[in-house]
Every structure is written in C-alpha cells, then in structure tokens.
Amino acid sequence: MQLLTTQTNQASCLQTTAFKGLQAGAWIHLEEVPSTFAHHEGLLLCQVSQWEWVMWIPEHGEHLLKIKI
C-alpha cells in the first residue's frame, strides 16, 4: 500500500470501513511528504471516503491522504 498526500483546507468526515486497519488517532509513516519541512509521519483525523483520510502533519498542517494500492 502506498500513501500519498494532497493538500486540502477542509473536508467533511464520513464513517466507512474501507481500511479497518486504519483508525482516527493513529500515526502513520508517509512515503512522500508535502514539503521539505514537513515531518514523515502524520496523525489520522477522520476518513472522508473509501480511499481518503484527513490527517494532520507536524510543521505542515491539515492534508488529505489518498491511499493508492
């Protein structure tokens, strides 16, 4: 599973069960970071679709995580 990020300012949170292994409050390692200063880990906030999560990345802010299989 590859984890990619795309910047977003807002998103609404929906409950889905696409990836039962992922859950809000979990820290995950990012293969790609959105900027040079961003950390390589992000905190999952909520799932917005089957393949997307809103996350917070230290030194960067809120991002939309897109899961690519």
Domain chopping of the chain, boundaries:
2-68
pLDDT at residue 66, as a whole number:
85
End-to-end CA distance of the chain: 5
- The answer to whether the CB of 22 falls within 8 A of the CB of 53 is yes
More confident of the two residues 3 and 41: 41
- The answer to whether the CB of 44 falls within 8 A of the CB of 66 is no
Q: How far is Cα 26 from Cα 46, in angstroms, rounded to an integer?
A: 10
pLDDT tens digits, one per residue of 11-66: 444 444 445 688 999 998 888 888 888 889 999 999 999 889 999 999 999 999 88
66: amino acid identity, one letter:
K
Q: Is 28 exposed, middle or buried (0-12, 13-18, 19+ CB in 10 A)?
A: middle
Is this model's pTM higher than 0.75 or not? Answer: no
